[in-house]
């Protein structure tokens, strides 16, 4: 009757899903049990067989299709468990089904009720298909076995297939090369890759590397679904003597090899050793302690303390206790073979579900890259949004970056052109003479001195600008001269520069040391085009050498038109090494228009990031400069692309605004960001000391909006004292306010540093009194 009812309804409403799986139910409604083969009552209602019509909602249809595919994965796993003799109440089966339901809830919009009905349908369908035995099980698993020599890798493979696939020998290495074998276990296709035994000592790691490289080449075309790392249960070691071997495996295959690895402890029928007091320890405690030691070593080798690899016990000896079905049973009553296979199959089932629900970015069958880290899009976007100066030819470097400042200052400088020269003579007083002056006379003297110094610096700046303009004109005129004259000019100009000139000393950080080791960082500016300098470690210890790395720079010119700038820096400490390299070139293609192309390489974590970027600048108005850029970054196994737009508005000599916005995308993931920076300078810039900067940044990634605002202001207090205030605040309510005062005369300000010391001493004395 049930079959006839099903046939009668089929022509009216043909199912859009495979037989046995109906459409998914809407939110918070139980999934209908449709088109199922005979069950208890055998009755199927007409309303349950009709698909829910929702043609306008394409997203819902896609979600329903995903749920049906996930349901088929559930059915497949339950069929696997059934063939291995495991019920749905098995711990491993229950955990896998729970994770599948949890992943479905995270991916979709359904509630917890749907998972229960999906399980009922999947369990019933799995029982029905296995009872019928007509539909083949579309599943295969590839297992790779790794481990030390003599732990029983080949013997475990023979036990899995219940036949001798590889020869074993108790006195010599059995497996000499990487080889695989294909067979069926309970009607399930299983492919096992056997590898030569590895050695744990440091001196044998070179041989291990050769073996592991051959394994890596062997699995390149058909990677395994799961890795079994074998060790012996009865080998007690707590000194991490296997760490060299585990680190070698991690270096060859990457840390991701441990994400899909199962720890297999052989010789599991061994009797537990005696405890510290001579009493016999329990078997469960023995297994727990040994498992913890191996798992902890793997965590340290992988560099991830969150790893928790499952542990399976194996006993291959022929004298092992068996049950009525002939299966080997461990001392704790567990039949180890179905448990090991179930763990292996569960790993591939979860990988298929993750790929279906797009919780991972790699397809199944590639476990070593299944957990590859997503590229840090906010970091890459922040690097893209940074403003970079344009590379110029040597003759063009006499001008400022913002040549508009010169035009804005011409009118003001022409008025007080010879104001300093018209001042009357002035005689500086000595300290003894200044000490004899009254308070009003000192104020008048220092005001006059400050006024004259400001006028003198203005005169020097004006002369420097004139010199730059003259050099620029001479460089432009030298291009029009014949080649012979230009060579003579280069020889004359190069003769003076051939004498090495000592460069200014580096500004060292504050130190309590009486010595001033600036001589360690001195270098010469010679005629050599390469500029090589040491990198100073600003936060180093006193009496330390202070060298953190080396920096090299050079400017090349191609065909006297295209400048190419190279800069590289290598820093190294006891743990990490960082590399930064940048090659940039620019080409002008019109008045106020230039395009630059750059290649960057820098260390990001443990990987190298390679970035190719291009930027085009153009001045569309006299006080406005715009720029647009593209970038492509290769980091690890991901490729990221970004775009940015920047606009710079120079209102006047004092006020300017820079606005930047962009986006970075990778693997269908997008991060958006932008920034705004407004700067208010002193009226006497660059001589004045007051400066106020307001910054605003916005970043949107994964729907998480981050907004930050910061302001910094420097206000002069007196002639030699500055007060600098900083404040920042974000949209999460976190912020910081700091005020700093520096002075070269008011040394009593340093006494403020005694306040936290006194507070600490008082608190310590109070603790001592309470302790008594």
Per-residue model confidence (pLDDT) at position 697: 94
Per-residue model confidence (pLDDT) at position 510: 65
Q: What value does the mean pLDDT take over residues 510-515?
A: 65
Per-residue model confidence (pLDDT) at position 771: 64
Neighbouring-strand partners of residue 230: 147, 264
Q: Is 644 helix (H, G, I), strand (E, B) or coil?
A: strand
| Torsion sign across C-alpha atoms 407, 409, 412, 414 | negative
CA–CA gap between residue 331 and residue 270 (Å, rounded): 9
* Cβ-proximal residues to 390 (8 Å cutoff; 6+ apart), any chain: 401, 586, 594, 596, 617
Is the pLDDT assigned to residue 266 strictly greater than 90?
Answer: yes
264 vs 762: which has the higher pLDDT: 264
pLDDT band of 725, cuts 50, 70, 90: very high
Per-residue model confidence (pLDDT) at position 116: 47
Q: Is the pTM of this model over 0.85?
A: no
Is the pLDDT assigned to residue 183 strictly greater than 50?
Answer: yes
CA–CA gap between residue 190 and residue 139 (Å, rounded): 9
Q: What value does the mean pLDDT take over residues 319-330?
A: 90
What is the share, in percent, of the chain residues with pLDDT greater than 70?
78
Is the pLDDT assigned to residue 88 strictly greater than 80?
Answer: yes
Q: Could you tell me if 723 and 739 are in contact, meaning their C-beta atoms sit under 8 angstroms apart?
A: yes
> Which whole-number Å values give the CA distances from 494 to 420, 486, 523, in the listed order?
35, 12, 20
Per-residue model confidence (pLDDT) at position 496: 44
**Interval 678-713: pLDDT, tens:** 999 887 777 777 889 999 999 998 888 999 999 999
Mean pLDDT of the chain: 78
Per-residue model confidence (pLDDT) at position 437: 86
7 vs 759: which has the higher pLDDT: 759
Is the pLDDT assigned to residue 344 strictly greater than 50?
Answer: yes
Which CATH number among 3.40.50, 3.90.320, 3.30.1300, 3.20.20 corresponds to the domain 682-772? 3.30.1300
297-301, 521-525, 655-659: segment of lowest average pLDDT:
521-525
Per-residue model confidence (pLDDT) at position 278: 72
Q: What would the two tokens of residue 575 be?
A: 């743990």
184-188, 572-576, 623-627: segment of lowest average pLDDT:
572-576
90-99, 245-254, 495-504: segment of lowest average pLDDT:
495-504
- When mean pLDDT is compared over 487-496, 516-525, 527-536, 652-661, the highest value belongs to 652-661
What is the share, in percent, of the chain residues with pLDDT greater than 90?
25
For the chain, which residues make up each domain, given as ranges? 2-42+60-132, 140-253+262-370, 373-398+526-644, 682-772
| Torsion sign across C-alpha atoms 107, 354, 160, 292 | negative
Q: What value does the mean pLDDT take over residues 750-770?
A: 81
Asked if domains 140-253+262-370 and 682-772 share a fold, the reply is no
The domain at 140-253+262-370 falls in which architecture? 3-Layer(aba) Sandwich (3.40)
Q: Is 363 helix (H, G, I), strand (E, B) or coil?
A: coil
């Amino acid at each position: 009757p049930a079959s006839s009812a099903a046939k009668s309804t089929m022509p009216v409403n043909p199912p859009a899903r495979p037989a046995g799986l109906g459409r998914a139910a809407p939110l918070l409604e139980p999934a209908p049990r449709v088109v199922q083969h005979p069950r208890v009552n055998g009755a199927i209602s007409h309303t349950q067989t009709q698909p829910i019509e929702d043609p306008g909602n394409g997203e819902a249809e896609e979600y329903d299709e995903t749920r049906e595919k996930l349901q088929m994965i559930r059915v497949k796993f339950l069929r696997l468990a059934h063939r291995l003799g495991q019920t749905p109440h098995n711990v491993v089966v229950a955990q896998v089904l729970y994770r599948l339901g949890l992943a479905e809830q995270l991916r979709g919009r359904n509630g917890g009720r749907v998972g229960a009905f999906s399980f009922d349908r999947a369990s019933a369908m799995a029982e029905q298909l296995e009872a019928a035995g007509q539909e083949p099980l579309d599943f295969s698993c590839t297992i790779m076995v790794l481990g030390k020599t003599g732990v029983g890798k080949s013997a475990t493979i023979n036990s899995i297939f219940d036949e001798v696939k590889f020869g074993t020998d108790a006195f010599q290495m059995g497996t000499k090369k990487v080889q695989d074998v294909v067979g069926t276990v309970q009607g399930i296709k299983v492919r096992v890759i056997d590898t030569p035994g590895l050695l744990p000592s440091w001196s044998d790691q070179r041989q291990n590397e050769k073996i592991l490289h051959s394994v890596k080449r062997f699995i390149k075309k058909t990677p395994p679904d799961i890795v079994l790392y074998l060790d012996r249960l009865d080998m007690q070691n707590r000194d991490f003597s296997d760490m060299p071997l585990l680190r070698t495996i991690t270096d060859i295959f990457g840390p991701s090899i441990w994400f899909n690895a199962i720890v297999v402890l052989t010789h599991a029928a061994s009797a537990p050793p005696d405890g510290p007091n001579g009493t016999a320890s329990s078997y469960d405690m023995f297994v727990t302690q040994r498992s913890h030691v191996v798992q902890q070593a793997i965590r340290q080798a992988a560099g991830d303390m969150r790893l928790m690899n499952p542990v399976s016990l194996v006993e291959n000896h022929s004298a092992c206790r068996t049950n009525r079905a002939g299966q080997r049973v461990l001392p704790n009553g567990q039949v180890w073979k179905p448990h090991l296979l179930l763990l292996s199959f569960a790993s591939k089932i979860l990988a298929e579900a993750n790929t279906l629900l797009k919780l991972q970015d790699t397809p199944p069958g590639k476990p070593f890259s299944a957990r590859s880290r997503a590229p840090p899009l906010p970091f890459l976007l922040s690097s893209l949004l940074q403003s970079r100066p344009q590379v110029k030819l040597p003759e063009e470097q006499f001008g400022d970056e913002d040549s508009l400042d010169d035009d804005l200052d011409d009118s003001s400088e022409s008025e007080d052109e010879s104001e300093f020269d018209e001042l009357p003579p002035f005689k500086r007083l000595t300290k003894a003479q200044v000490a004899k002056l009254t308070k009003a006379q000192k104020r008048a003297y220092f005001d006059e001195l400050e006024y004259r110094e400001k006028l003198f610096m203005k005169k020097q700046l004006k002369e420097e600008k004139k010199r730059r303009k003259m050099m620029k004109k001479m460089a432009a005129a030298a291009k029009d001269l014949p080649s012979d004259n230009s060579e003579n000019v280069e020889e004359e100009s190069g003769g003076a520069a051939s004498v090495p000139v000592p460069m200014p000393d580096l500004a060292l950080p504050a130190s309590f040391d009486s010595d001033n080791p600036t001589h360690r960082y001195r270098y010469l500016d010679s005629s050599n085009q390469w500029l090589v300098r040491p990198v100073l470690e600003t936060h180093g210890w006193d009496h330390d050498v202070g060298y953190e790395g080396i920096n090299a720079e050079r400017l090349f010119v191609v065909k006297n038109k295209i400048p190419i700038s190279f800069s590289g820096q290598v820093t190294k400490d006891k743990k990490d090494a960082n590399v930064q390299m940048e090659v940039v070139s620019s080409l002008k293609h019109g008045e106020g228009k230039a395009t630059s192309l750059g290649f960057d390489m820098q260390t990001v974590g443990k990987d190298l990031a390679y970035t190719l970027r291009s930027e085009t600048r153009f001045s569309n108005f006299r006080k406005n400069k715009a720029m647009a850029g593209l970038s492509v970054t290769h980091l690890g196994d991901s490729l990221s692309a970004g775009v940015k737009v920047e606009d710079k508005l120079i209102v006047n000599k004092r006020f300017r605004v820079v606005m930047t916005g962009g986006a970075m995308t990778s693997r269908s993931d997008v991060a958006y960001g932008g920034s705004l920076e407004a700067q208010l300078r002193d009226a006497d810039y660059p001589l004045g000391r007051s400066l106020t900067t307001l910054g605003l940044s916005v970043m949107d990634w994964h729907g998480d909006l981050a907004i930050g605002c910061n302001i910094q202001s420097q206000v002069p207090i007196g002639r030699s004292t500055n007060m600098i205030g900083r404040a920042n605040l974000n949209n999460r309510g976190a912020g910081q306010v700091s005020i700093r005062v520096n002075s070269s005369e008011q040394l009593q300000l340093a006494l403020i540093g005694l306040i936290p010391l006194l507070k600490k001493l008082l608190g310590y004395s109070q603790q001592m009194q309470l302790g008594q």
